[in-house]
Amino acid sequence: MKPIFTFSFILFFKLILFSSYNSYSQNDSSKANHNHIIGIGGYVFRNAALVSFEYGKRTKNWNELTIPVYFTKEGRRKGITIAGSYHIALVKKRSRFNFFISPELNLAYSWYERLNTGTNVSRFGYFICFGLIPQVRLTNRIVLVYEFKFGHGYLWAKNDKYSFNNEVIYTERGWYFRYLPAFRLKYSF
């Protein structure tokens, strides 16, 4: 009987002691500031598809610094683009609707097989993009976003080592315009 009484008294004492301190979730649950953002999105063109993932951090004035990754597929051409983007919020407070202006720098790489020759062509380059991003807050943590980004950049192309007698069969280089739209669902934590 005595050990059960001692155990009960110690448990009761610990509950009183710990319940008198406010933890973060108890004290500021209505004012929680979720600064980290992850998102997934995509867009389908007539003959191409774009899937994007994003990780970001929100600053004190509701701007966002993000790192999006884009995967593209158009016929036999596949590509990956890694970018750094800064979303400048036009509404500097927590609201249901917000609008962002977004400068972005992309590093792009794509590859595809040249006709039926067995020769693979790689394309790499950079783009400087500018975006307009309206968003709607669905819940406290979930946001629906439509990203409309367009950019201009330079791409280089080269054949792989299986070119016939090291002769360049196909080259492609020059200035290109790029369009990166996405419907994206973001989650803040």
Given a contact cutoff of 8 angstroms between Cβ atoms, the answer to whether 69 and 100 are in contact is no
Higher-confidence position of 112 and 56: 56
The per-type count for the chain, helices as H runs and strands as E runs, is 2, 8
Q: pTM of the full predicted structure? A: 0.73
Lowest-confidence range among 12-16, 67-71, 146-150, 177-181?
A: 12-16
Comparing C-alpha atoms, which of 33, 22, 35 is closest to residue 186?
A: 35
Residue 111: strand pairing partners: 78, 122
Phi (first) and psi of residue 6, to 5 degrees: -65, -45
Q: Is the pLDDT of residue 27 over 60?
A: no
Report the alpha-carbon distance of residue 19 to residue 135 in Å, rounded: 40
Secondary structure letter of residue 12 according to DSSP: H
**Interval 4-18 mean pLDDT:** 56
pLDDT band of 36, cuts 50, 70, 90: very high
Instruction: Spell out where 10-114 has E strands.
Output: 36-44, 48-58, 64-74, 77-89, 97-114
pLDDT band of 75, cuts 50, 70, 90: confident
